[in-house]
Structure 1
Amino acid sequence: MNIESATLDRENLTLLISASVDFEQFGDFAERLAAALDCQVRERQWGADRHQWLLDFEGCQLCLHYEFYGDICWLSIERQDEFDVLVYLHSLLKPYIQS
């Protein structure tokens, strides 16, 4: 799993992940990412240019998104009071960031 960077965005309740992601192989990337973050995959959805997976981390619901045209990947939460979960997950990604 090649992650170039990971950036927290408190205003949008997201963790932006810059990585080499092949749209056709997104499932492999997402499974490895979920395992690295100790998340359970609950649901997988995809369309012509987008993947969206529902993940669970210790009772916190997260959405993993990937958009092909923007080549952008991010984790999002719905509630401000769960932002600390994204902060913790960000710390788990640090060993995977290629600098």
Structure 2
Amino acid sequence: MPVTDNRILTHASVALFDIEEGRFVLAIDDLDFDNAEAYAAAFCQLMDAAIIEKQMDADLMSWLVDFEGVQFMLKAEHYSASLWLERLGAEGDDELSFLNHWLSNQLLSSHS
């Protein structure tokens, strides 16, 4: 089954938002090695982020993405069934806060 924005909203939950560490983590109940890239692409489409660079390792997928003019690392790991954004520098707190608030509301709406 293809991964779509709607699939993210029905299979994901916000697992962690840590503004001090600059990290926003989604737990995705059916994320695995085979669909991690599709989930990451759908997540980028959902938040309208541009993919700059992709890297796939044995256990970790890492993408450099641009969201609202700020670069983040988007990572996915199948062992933890999680997808997360990491701030790369001092910038990005406002964008992560926005995503946490906006996506939390989207997830609440889709789960009710």
Range class of TM-score, shorter chain: 0.7 to 0.9
Q: Map 1:3-42; keep pairs closer than 5 Å.
A: 3-20=12-29, 21-42=31-52
Count of equivalent residues: 99
- Report the Cα offset of residue 26 of structure 1: 1.3
1:54 aligns with 2:54: no
- Maintained 8 Å contact 1:36/1:93: no
Larger strand fraction of residues: 1
- Report the Cα offset of residue 40 of structure 1: 0.7
**Aligned alpha-carbon RMSD (Å):** 1.8
Letter in 1 for 2:76: Y
Q: Which runs of 5+ in 2 are unaligned?
A: 1-7
- Given the two structures, how large is their TM-score scaled by the length of structure 2? 0.76
Distance 1:7 1:26 in 2: 19
- Given the two structures, how large is their TM-score scaled by the length of structure 1? 0.85
Letter in 1 for 2:90: Q
Which one has more relative contact order, counting CA pairs under 8 Å at least 6 apart?
1
Aligned equivalent of 2:78: 68
